[in-house]
Amino acid sequence: RGHQIATINADFVVKSLYDADLRRILQEADMATADGMPLVWSARLLGVPLEGRVTGADMVPALAERAAEKGYSIYFLGAAPGVAEQAAAILQERHPGLKVAGCRAPTREEVERGDPSIVEECRAAQPDILLVAFGNPKQEKWIAQHAKALQVPVMMGVGGTFDFIAGVTKRAPGWMQESGLEWLYRLLCEPRRLWKRYATDLFGFGWFFLWQWWIMRQGANTPAVLPKSDFFIVKDTVILNVQGRLDSSNQHAFAQKATQSLSTNPYLIINLADTEFLDSSAIGTLVALTKQARDDGGNLWLANVPTAIVNTLSLLRLEQFFDICDDIDSALQTRTYYQQLTVPA
């Protein structure tokens, strides 16, 4: 199957709060990177240390370099007429041997009406990597909608990256990129186009972060209790009980236990009845474990989830991502029904 990469900035986060389709796409992406220092700074303050940001403008040249080394081909889709071709030519010059499967700049009307020739042309070119520059969130939704038909191993929305590579739009000086001020440079260059978006992102993302930070601070004030986890098996289903706090200090050990279980059985029920608190890193671990289970043809269920944790998951818009059950019995029933649906007749 195809794998979708998403580079997420503050604008993505704000839009996904109110756009369920975009939120689902980002949550289910095979790889997601922090494309913006606000996300990096916020993650660190929430106890999830990220080494730094990874922008589309940085990732595409790196992908091109690796593709040239491995013999992979890239298809460039989107941007203004001629820009994709120019970006492709520049990358070929930088990385001799890079295979360009094709370039196309469909009009806005073609994209909005879902012109089938776009998908047909991309599929016929049989690229290993597809870069889509339709802008956020159009490019992410287009990839998700057509992923099965495209049959491309790796697909990625790249926004204005072709413009940066081709020199149509200048990137901020290196020192501004490194200090996290690239957004200010872009705002100064295009104030009329960007001021409203940045203002909306400032208030929307700021509120979202501060509310998370306040909740995590409440948890930090409770007595620290190391989590105790134990496995037991019911009806060929592994159940993992978690007791106490699960946070950045101990989520790695928890993740190892759960990953070990999923490696032998892709079905896992996590019982949170005696769980006192989950911080951001613990919730991120649960997301990763759930995606691992589903990728392996199974699933993960959360059972007996305390109200405070349910409220936190709702704030993070994850209540629909997880399969949450009232108790272990209902989780077992759901697991049996799920297995019946996934087993071929």
85-105 pLDDT, tens digit each:
999 999 999 999 999 999 999
Q: What is the mean pLDDT of residues 167-182?
A: 87
Q: How many angstroms separate the CA atoms of 58 and 321, rounded?
A: 30
Using the predicted structure, report yes or no on whether residue 223 has a pLDDT greater than 80.
Answer: no
Q: How many angstroms separate the CA atoms of 155 and 73, rounded?
A: 12
Q: How many angstroms separate the CA atoms of 145 and 315, rounded?
A: 27
Cβ atoms 20, 121 nearer than 8 A: no
How confident is the model at residue 341, as a pLDDT? 67
Q: Distance from CA of residue 75 to its chain's centroid? A: 22
Q: What is the mean pLDDT of residues 290-304?
A: 94
Report the run of H or E that residue 5 belongs to, with start and end.
strand 3-8
154-163, 299-308, 332-341: least confident range: 332-341
Q: How many angstroms separate the CA atoms of 238 and 230, rounded?
A: 10
DSSP-derived letter for residue 136 is: T
66-75 pLDDT, tens digit each:
999 999 999 9
Who wins on pLDDT, 20 or 335? Answer: 20
Domains of the chain as residue ranges with CATH? 3-204 (3.40.50.10700), 228-342 (3.30.750.24)
Taking alpha carbons only, the member of 280, 340, 266, 334 closest to residue 303 is: 334
How confident is the model at residue 80, as a pLDDT? 96
Q: What is the mean pLDDT of residues 91-120?
A: 96
Who wins on pLDDT, 260 or 125? Answer: 125
Q: What is the mean pLDDT of residues 255-259?
A: 90
The pLDDT > 90 percentage for the chain reads 64
How confident is the model at residue 236, as a pLDDT? 76
